[in-house]
Amino acid sequence: MDLWTFVQKNLLLVGVCVASGVLLLWPSLARVRGSSKEVTALEAVQLINRRDAVVVDVREPAEFAEGHIANSRHIPAAQMAERVKELDKLKRQPILVVCRTGSRAASACATLRKSGFEEVFTLKGGVAAWQQASLPLKKK
């Protein structure tokens, strides 16, 4: 049996294999395309200290009050589109977007990029990774 006959007889199986391969490769492809610039906690500290990165915390108010990175600006993810103008004067600085685990930060980064921010990063693993690295959080 040749390859073409196998594919015709097992179209569903081949489709599932192709789809699973794409899903497995998607995170790597997204990083290569530049849609997600993730930094570790150590790299985040270097961005803050060496390049004066602005930290934007997109968690909910109760989460932010429990502890946040010092000098971070609080703009909940749900309000990012309406409040992005507050950050306009910071377009030339690196922006580090953080949330609890990193998922909300990615969508906030997309909003910032659409608004013309070029250097936008997410904290890989979010505030949870920051704490795991034994880095301090400030409470209000």
Query: Could you tell me if 15 and 55 lie in one domain?
Result: no
- DSSP code at position 79: G
Tell me if 26 sits within 8 A of 19, measured CB to CB. no
Quote the tokens at residue 5.
Answer: 């006959």
pTM over 0.85: no
Count of domains in the chain?
A: 2
Task: Say whether both 65 and 80 belong to one domain.
Answer: yes
Please give the positions annotated as active site. 99
- pLDDT at 32 (0 to 100): 47
Place of tokens 């690196």: 94
Flag whether 137 is in a domain. no
Q: Which residues of 34-53 are buried (b: 16+ CB within 10 A; e: fewer)?
A: eebbbbebeebbebbeeeeb
Instruction: Based on the fold, state whether residues 22 and 62 are members of the same structural domain.
Output: no
- Assigned domain for 68 exists: yes
pLDDT truncated to tens, each residue of the chain (140 aa)?
688 888 888 888 888 888 888 878 766 655 544 445 899 999 999 999 999 999 999 999 999 999 999 999 999 999 999 999 999 999 989 999 999 988 889 889 999 999 999 899 999 999 999 999 999 999 87
Query: CA-CA distance, 38 to 96, in Å (whole number)?
Result: 9
Q: Same domain for 24 and 84?
A: no
Domain that holds residue 72: 36-132
C-alpha to C-alpha distances, 130 to 19, 39, 40, 53, 70, nearest whole angstrom: 34, 11, 8, 16, 12
